[in-house]
Chains A and B, each alone.
Chain A
Amino acid sequence: MTILATEGLTRRFPRVTALDGLTVTVGPGVTGLVGANGAGKSTLIKILLGLLAPSAGGARVLGMDVTTQGAEIRRVVGYMPEHDCLPPDLSATEFTVHMGQMSGLPRTAARERAADVLRHVGLYEERYRAMGGYSTGMKQRVKLAQALVHDPRLILLDEPTNGLDPKGRDEMLGLIRRIGTEFGISVLVTSHLLGELERVCDHVIVIDAGRLLRSSSIAEFTQTTQTVAVEVEEGRDVLAARLTELGETAVPQGRALLVDIRAPETFDTLRDAVCDLDLCLIRVEQGRRRIEDVFREPADV
């Protein structure tokens, strides 16, 4: 099933070409859209919402054409903008109910849905207070709630982790993952940080200067090599030397060692090496190659 697809999508502004012949297909689940600032992510979202006409090419969202069926698309798609968008003198409840009605829900249904989604995004008693006094984390949650209130089939999240502290970032990423899996709503999430998308996405699209660099599933990126991260209290280098001696590949990374898994026996070798050297083992963790590493390679490999 295709959630959205673009075909030679191009958008030129008087000074810049924001999108340049972009052809991608996105399936269900969580999809990351990665690119530097100005890579064309926000322009793509505006086109997908039917708010901006493409200069050339076309796009379909949930089977609907963006140039002719914009209003129908916007009824079943949720959008969380990157910028602040909350009126400070309303409470989160009132605002979310209102936004639900704006998406076509009758008032009573909007009330029920608003209460539901605010609970899901983790806003409780504070949702009755005016939003002017909210922290960035709470504001991001309300922005997410208003995108979910009408139970869309797809939500477009523009930089949802912007301005969050590490804990808030983790919680937001966890929520996005839940939306994609538990809620069964497809997600397109943009970020300029690959690392955080790695944790939540099923599929990653990388664009640069409006052109497609790569589009592949996370599994494809990370299954190419399997590694374990091994951390010992002291003697990281001794262990590395021993493993190399035994024919394994071990690369130091920070305080840990990244050991390539050639075969299941590698785990035995590793265990024995740690025992023989009498080292204090802190952790052994299934390590994945980070997608950053994949993209660090030339794109045309």
Chain B
Amino acid sequence: MSEPTGVIHDIGYRHYEGVRLGRRHAAVALAVHSLRGVFGLGRTARAKIIPFLLVGVMMLPAVVSIAVMALLQREAMTYPSYAVTMQAVLAIFLASQSPYTVAPDLRFRVLPLYLSRPVTLGDYVGAKLAAMITAMFLLLAVPLTVLYIGELIIDMPGPPHTSAYLTSMAGAVVYAALLACVGVAIASFTPRRGLGVASVIAFYLLTSAVSAIIAATMEETNNYAASSWAWLINPFFLVDAAVQVGLFGAAPSAPGAYPPGAGVVVALLLVAGLIALSVTALILRYRKAASR
């Protein structure tokens, strides 16, 4: 007997007999959901404008460098200086997108729904951080990699700058970790997205301005040792000093030199300390939010 096609049958409620995955799967799903959200995917068209605009701006130096290499056979930009040169763009991306990962869940009280699932508070915080770290890493690593591929294809005289590229990738990992942790931690203290954006950008402006002013003043008084320490106040120079210069011996990207010797150790400790402080602040923040 042939059934007519295109008929919708109400087959009633069906039970789910398939697999049920555990906490890890849920945490990964949350991280992926947040990562997509950071770039505006699965959200309104308006939410896509800023992240993709900033991604475009981040790609510009890579594209220009490739053009310069192809036409003039000259290197235009070194890999480790990429993040420092583009620090304002990275800071704006961090400020505009990190509040999205945490603020709506607090403001619209989605958090209790997550906690009524198998994931724990630690999983939640971990997933949100992982999402933002991945986003920041992609934002930095994609143009660097495009630039490197460009360099390989153009095949300039002399060997490719592979070690500089790898140094910058190591730097990108630490940049992403430090910036995302600080950004998300600051943003988590307010359920309002606008306030979060303002707080994160204020953090960047404050540290970079204070760092530049102190360094300039110290240089005027010929106190070069003090000015080299002052650069570390800016998180972008801090990671440069700790990882790219300190561990991998790249040339400093700050206008002045970084503190040598023990300075590297201090810079590394500062990076680790800032990440630890941010994660602790986040966990305390969410303990309080969950108990409400």
Contact = CB atoms under 8 A, between A and B. Distances in A.
Interface residues of B, number: 35
B39 to A, nearest CB: 14
A101 B29 contact: yes
B21 interface: yes
Interface in A151-168: 151
A47 to B, nearest CB: 13
Interface stretch (A73-81, A195-203, A282-290): A73-81
Nearest to B18: A109
Interface in B7-37: 12-16, 18-23, 25-26, 29-30, 33
Contacts of B114: 102
Given A74-B117, A103-B117, A81 B112 contact: yes
Main secondary structure of the interface of B (DSSP, over half): loop
Nearest to B14: A116
Given A102-B29, A104-B25, A113-B16, A49 B109 contact: no
B18 A71 contact: no
A51 B116 CA distance: 8
B108 A103 contact: no
A72 B120 CA distance: 12
Contacts of B16: 105, 109, 113, 150-151
Nearest to B291: A52
B29 A98 contact: yes
Interface in B21-64: 21-23, 25-26, 29-30, 33, 42-44, 47
B115 A51 contact: yes
B138 interface: no
Most central of B30, B114, B117 by chain A CB within 10 Å: B117
A83 interface: yes
A53 B18 CA distance: 31
Q: Categorize the interface residue count of chain A.
A: 35 or more
Contacts of B33: 98, 101
Contact of B42 (A74, A84, A86, A94): A94
A151 B104 CA distance: 27
Given A94-B42, A120-B13, A182-B12, A104 B21 contact: yes
B108 A105 contact: no
Contacts of A79: 113, 116
Contacts of B72: none
A106 B21 contact: yes
Nearest to A131: B108
A26 B20 CA distance: 26
A146 interface: yes
B138 to A, nearest CB: 21
B118 A88 contact: no
A85 B26 contact: no
B119 interface: yes
A130 interface: yes
B219 interface: no
Interface in B82-117: 104-105, 108-110, 112-117
Given A79-B113, A104-B20, A84 B14 contact: no
Nearest to B114: A102
A170 interface: no
Given A71-B120, A104-B26, A104-B118, A90 B42 contact: yes
A99 B30 CA distance: 9
Contacts of B117: 74-75, 99, 102-103
Interface of A: 49, 51, 71-72, 74-75, 77, 79, 81, 83-90, 94, 98-99, 101-107, 109, 113, 116, 120, 130, 146, 150-151, 182-184
